[in-house]
Amino acid sequence: MADRIDRRCFLAKGIVGAAAVGAVHTSVEEQTLAAALQDGTAQASQPAKPKTDIPPGSLPCGKIGNVSLSRLFIGGNLIGGWAHSRDLMYASKLFTSYNTEAKVFETLELAQACGINTIQLDPACWGPIAKYNQTHNPKLQTMVCVPLSEDKAKMNEAIKRQVDMGATLLYSHGGVTDSWMMNGGSTDVIAQMLELIKAQGLPAGVGSHSLNMPIACERDKVGADYYVKTFHMDRYWSATPKERRVEYDWMRGNAADHNANNDSMWCNNPEETAAFMESVSKPWVAFKVMAAGAIKPQLAFPYAYRHGADFIIAGMFDFQVEGDVKIALEALQKLDSRKRPWCG
């Protein structure tokens, strides 16, 4: 992004300027860097191989179609900078300033070292991910969301674009899909999108925040290979009280959107969601499991796995990756009351 803060350039300029005016005391390393910058010999440093005490192969995998996926995905929102931050207006800028390309690479290298083999992406995040996959082996698998369109040719073009970029799985963007149905759309367009994805040889899924979406898709037999559905407990301080909670309910003529609820509320009816998904024999990828940072992963991950999620997406900074994988491993090892069979 053009407005990102390039910390290496910022540091370098600061060092050169300081050396010129003698305003600060610099370290040997800083003096060496300043000299290299002045004579043009500075080279981009190669990241050290990430260290982790998580043994290779520890994180279990499941399958969607013929694709083997770690039970924990890394989410792309923190890279794109549109992570939900409630009324903290500086958060997106802070996230993109921190997540320079070098930092993104470090994060993904650590994720792979810990056993995560898949990232969930909005197409706008492709830049650093595509570059990462050009220089790393094995490549990081990608589950990419695509918008719906009544224009079949336009939608097919959007799908092919993601396939050409290297998408491993594709699914309909949850917010766009919900809005489509709330504004009178039909599941026929969703079914058409799924057919176009499958024609490219990729598993095809449907994303949503509303429980009504998988209900409608199963009712109308649209042919989804998997679902990407929000899921989190509702027992935390910033959850919308039940008496004021509004559900996306186009089936009953209620066109309310998510903004009717608190900005930490992404699954208005977790018990009903778990009960319905128990009746669906298709893989379920759960996202917003921490309610956009309102629930600790120590509570969120066990809750999601125990109540039926086959895979979890979690946005992570580099300093959270190893800890989150360990939490997921412990949650998966201690499952004692999961009713829903693993699907995938």
Query: If pLDDT is split at 50, 70 and 90, which confidence band does 234 have?
Result: confident
- CB-based contacts of 90: which residues, under 8 Å, 6+ apart? none
**Amino acid 235: pLDDT:** 78
Two tokens at 341? 């069979």
pLDDT at 96 over 50: yes
Which has more pLDDT, 49 or 329? 329
* C-alpha to C-alpha distance for 320 and 318, rounded to whole angstroms: 5
CB 207, CB 146: distance < 8 Å? no
Amino acid identity, residue 39?
Answer: D
**Residue the block writes with tokens 């991950």:** 301
Cis ω on the peptide bond leading into residue 297 (within 30° of 0)? no
Average pLDDT, the chain: 83
Q: Where in the chain is the domain with CATH 3.20.20.100?
A: 61-333
Amino acid identity, residue 193?
Answer: M
* pLDDT above 90 as % of the chain: 59
**Phi-psi map region of 166: left, alpha, beta (phi>0 left; psi -120 to 50 alpha):** left
Two tokens at 109? 């290298």
- Note the helical H segments in the chain: 7-21, 28-39, 77-80, 91-98, 101-113, 126-135, 152-165, 174-182, 187-199, 212-219, 270-277, 297-306, 318-333
Query: If pLDDT is split at 50, 70 and 90, which confidence band does 225 have?
Result: very high
CATH number for the domain whose boundaries are 61-333: 3.20.20.100
| Greatest CA separation for the chain | 73
**Amino acid 20: pLDDT:** 38
Could you tell me the CA-to-CA distances from 199 to 163, 165, 193 in Å, in that order? 11, 16, 10
Q: How many of the other CB atoms lie within 10 Å of CB of 211?
A: 24
- Nearest-5° Cα angle at 312, 291 to 57: 140
Please write the tens of the pLDDT for every residue from 163-175: 999 999 999 998 8
**Amino acid 299: pLDDT:** 96
In order, the DSSP letters of 283-303 are -EEEE-TTTTTTS-HHHHHHH
* C-alpha to C-alpha distance for 257 and 261, rounded to whole angstroms: 8
* C-alpha to C-alpha distance for 156 and 193, rounded to whole angstroms: 8
pLDDT at 61 over 80: yes
* C-alpha to C-alpha distance for 110 and 107, rounded to whole angstroms: 5
CB 282, CB 308: distance < 8 Å? no
**Amino acid 263: pLDDT:** 64
**Amino acid 112: pLDDT:** 97
Please write the tens of the pLDDT for every residue from 325-343: 999 999 999 998 899 999 9
**Amino acid 247: pLDDT:** 64
**Amino acid 31: pLDDT:** 54
Two tokens at 247? 């559900």
* C-alpha to C-alpha distance for 59 and 323, rounded to whole angstroms: 13
Q: By C-alpha distance, which of 55, 69, 56 is closest to 309? A: 69
